[in-house]
Structure 1
Amino acid sequence: MRKLHRAAMVIAAFVIVGLAVPTAPAAAAEPVDKHCVARANVAEPQAICFDTFDKALQFASGGVLYDLPKGSSVSAKVDALNAKFGVNVVNTVISIEYSGSNHTGSDLIWTGTSGNCSTPTGNVDYFASSMPAGWDNVITSFKTYANCWDKHFENTGFGGASVGYESTRSYIGGAMDNRTSSHRWS
């Protein structure tokens, strides 16, 4: 009986000690890219985000784009979206901003309702005097569409350092990397 009681005590001790032994920390979760859409030419842009780029682009199109061929390039998808609207402009994708270099990471699709940008860069066709929540000071690369060229500003209200007008950059440069707080498109 004593042997049985002693065995039970040893097993209980192992269970208690086993519960107290620290476990290895869980692996850090991989960062999840977000795919967001915001409208230019509004006082305070709001980003609406999705789990895939195609869902974000479909939202940006007002539901016009769907069933795009798998493997279509981003440019082909945006060109298809902008071409679908023709004269009856609903939404036009004017640029896509990325959190990573070489057009990687999370993306922010900027849309407008005035169609393509005009050719000269001396006027402003679209603007964002501030960035949507979660997008201030995170832009590292960008591409423009609809004949637009993008100018990035360090401060809200188009102040501070700037870079642009340019149509695309795989790296915005050290002076403006993760420092965009407002935009103008021409």
Structure 2
Amino acid sequence: MEELVDRVRQALEAEYPGAPNGRVRDVPDRRAIRWYSTIGLVDRPLGMRGRTALYGPRHLQQLVAIKRWQAEGRSLAEIQADFVWLTPEGLTDASRVPAQLLATDDEPPEHAPRPRFWADRPVTGLVAGAAPAEPPIRDIPAPVHGVTLGGGAILLLPHPASGDDRTEIAAAAAPLLRLLESRGLIDGRSS
């Protein structure tokens, strides 16, 4: 983690004005990185080597983008909402991390990032096998509302759900939750 913190510092050295107030650190420390991971701003570590967490280039980009956006005055809640729709290319653009800092020799290849299917908006009106005339819209920030499904799974919606909606969503999500639990993707506890 110390190497990750050092790379964040190096990435921000060139063109980072710093935090607009004294409440936000210029460079995240270990505790802040763990907090960002807990709230979903930064991906969980790629794995563990003994008691050492392993981080990769995407973690570096996420941390640098967070600090750059905080310097612009964005709150963590705003950044979290923007990260939902952020593509890998958008993250690269937002973080502007120099390529030499992204290079790593020891990243395990089996830990390639999963596809971000939730960040792609559906393309409608396509004939099977035909390419869309325009790429789908990906970078429109929108408020996001969550419905807790259980086991740590949260369904994100563009509009708030009523109590009746939540009840019907929970019933419809039961097969999906069983599948996620069977694959070890959620913990199986209801919430």
What range is the shorter-chain TM-score in?
under 0.3
TM-score in terms of structure 2 length: 0.22
Relative to its length, the structure with more helix (as a share) is: 2
Relative to its length, the structure with more strand (as a share) is: 1
**Greater Rg over alpha carbons, structure:** 1
**Which structure has more RCO (C-alpha within 8 Å, separation ≥ 6)?**
1
